[in-house]
């Protein structure tokens, strides 16, 4: 299961540099706007440290990791919603992703041009958010026209839809993103079908310089962005995209020395990928044996049959039970026999809610 996050922002803020770091792809990241036109796509393995131990536990012939798919979408500018800078094309690319990674420049460097001629993270964020909202308002208005016609029938359902679209339009016209709108239960399907851009979950990346990372300091730009993001119920991660790109092409020993030089415990990308995974409201369960160890991605709150269906639809259709234990049990016992003898292997039915870190063996019959 590969999940898409779109990397967005103004031109020249570090989007393609971040994408290069994530994928080690060496795509174009020039010092001029719109060097990315068609979205670059990269599938990135999720570095789950639990998987390393599970591999040593089973010693399998094959290992399959979870992945996230990143799209590097060209820089948006003022007027994108009206077609400026190929804006309509780029906004439609955002519509296809599950979540947004919004890169914001938070450093001074006179050698790197800024499309707005100055560094102002909150202004930059507002430009992008405004363009997304304008496009959403356009989408809602189209639905509202149809809802008004349908409401002439006098049915309760058509009246509910009309009230819903009017309330949603009022909310967005006040400059509030759709993700902050309280959706009635009976309208959640309707909301999902709208595919509103400002309803996407979002993670802000404060692209800072190397000094701020090395000395673990703060500047006014990154602080402004972090405070704004928090006020909107979003999260922020601070990265030096250029540093991460330099790290991505090093081997393990070189990377270790590089991290030591910059006083870092780990590369920032691992934290970014982990946060992107959380942003999508996902968790992982594992299957294991001598043939294969595999990490599987599911939505939080998934039942055992739903998790089984990720492996094969027959597993869900013919689900009987799930033999389950947790990764933490694996840490305390040397093999599955020891886990079983300790009474840690549980038999779970169709109503069981899978936990992050569960190791599961499904029984099914079709």
Structure confidence at residue 36 as a pLDDT band (50, 70, 90): very low
HSE toward the beta carbon, residue 102, CA cutoff 13 A: 25
Q: What is the pLDDT of residue 315?
A: 95
Q: Give the CATH number of domain 301-364.
A: 3.10.20.30
> Are the beta carbons of 135 and 197 closer than 8 angstroms?
yes
This prediction has a pTM of 0.85
Q: What are phi and psi of 68, to 5 degrees?
A: -125, 140
Tokens coding 312: 């094969």
Q: What are phi and psi of 57, to 5 degrees?
A: -75, -45
Q: What are phi and psi of 64, to 5 degrees?
A: -125, 120
Tokens coding 149: 């016609």
Q: What are phi and psi of 102, to 5 degrees?
A: -100, 110
Tokens coding 191: 């909301």
Q: Is 222 exposed, middle or buried (0-12, 13-18, 19+ CB in 10 A)?
A: buried
Structural fold of domain 130-198: DNA polymerase; domain 1 (1.10.150)
CATH superfamily of 2-119+200-279: P-loop containing nucleotide triphosphate hydrolases (3.40.50.300)
Q: List residues bridging with 284 in a β-sheet.
A: 297
**pLDDT, tens digit (0-9, with 9 covering 90-100), for 177-195:** 999 999 999 999 999 999 9
Q: What is the pLDDT of residue 323?
A: 97
Q: What is the pLDDT of residue 28?
A: 41
Whether residue 84 has pLDDT greater than 80? no
Tokens coding 73: 């979408």
> For the chain, how are helix, strand and coil distributed in percent, rounded to 5?
45, 20, 30
- Domain boundaries of the chain, sorted by first residue: 2-119+200-279, 130-198, 301-364
Q: What is the pLDDT of residue 27?
A: 42
Tokens coding 276: 């992107």
Alpha-carbon distance 178 to 237, whole Å? 23
Sign of dihedral through CA atoms 228, 274, 37, 92? negative
Tokens coding 25: 């792809």
Q: What is the pLDDT of residue 31?
A: 40
Cβ burial 92-117 (10 Å sphere, 16+ → b, else e): ebbeebbbbbbbbbbbeeeeeebbee
Mean pLDDT of the chain: 89
């Amino acid at each position: 299961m590969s999940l898409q996050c779109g990397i967005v922002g103004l031109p020249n803020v570090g989007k393609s540099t971040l994408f290069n770091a994530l994928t080690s792809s060496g795509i174009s990241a020039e010092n001029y706007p719109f060097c990315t036109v068609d979205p670059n796509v990269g599938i990135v393995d999720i570095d789950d440290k639990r998987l390393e131990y599970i591999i040593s536990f089973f010693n399998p012939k094959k290992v399959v990791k979870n992945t996230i798919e990143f799209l590097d979408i060209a820089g948006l500018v003022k007027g994108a919603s009206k077609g400026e800078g190929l804006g309509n094309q780029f906004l439609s690319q955002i519509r296809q992703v599950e979540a947004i990674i919004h890169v914001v420049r938070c450093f001074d460097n006179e050698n790197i041009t800024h499309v707005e001629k100055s560094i102002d993270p909150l202004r930059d964020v507002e430009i992008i958010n405004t363009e997304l909202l304008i496009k959403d308002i356009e989408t809602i208005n189209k639905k509202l026209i149809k809802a008004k016609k349908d409401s002439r029938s006098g049915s309760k359902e058509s009246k509910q839809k009309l009230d819903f679209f009017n309330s949603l339009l009022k909310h967005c016209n006040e400059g509030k993103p759709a993700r902050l709108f309280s959706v009635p239960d009976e309208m959640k399907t309707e909301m999902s079908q709208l595919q509103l851009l400002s309803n996407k979950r979002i993670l802000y990346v404060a692209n800072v310089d190397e000094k701020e990372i090395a000395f673990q300091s703060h500047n006014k730009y990154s602080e402004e962005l972090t405070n704004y993001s928090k006020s909107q119920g979003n999260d922020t991660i601070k990265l030096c995209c250029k540093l991460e790109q330099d790290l991505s092409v090093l081997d393990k020993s070189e990377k270790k020395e590089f991290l030591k030089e910059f006083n870092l415990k780990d590369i920032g990308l691992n934290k970014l990928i982990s946060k992107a995974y959380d942003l999508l409201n996902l968790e992982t369960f594992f299957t294991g044996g001598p043939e294969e160890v595999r990490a599987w991605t599911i939505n939080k709150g998934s039942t055992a049959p739903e998790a089984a269906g990720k492996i094969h639809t027959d597993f869900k259709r013919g689900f009987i039970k799930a033999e389950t234990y947790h990764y933490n049990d694996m840490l305390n016992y040397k093999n599955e026999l020891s886990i079983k003898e300790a009474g840690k292997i549980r038999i779970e039915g169709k109503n069981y809610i899978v936990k992050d870190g569960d190791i599961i063996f499904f029984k099914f019959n079709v």
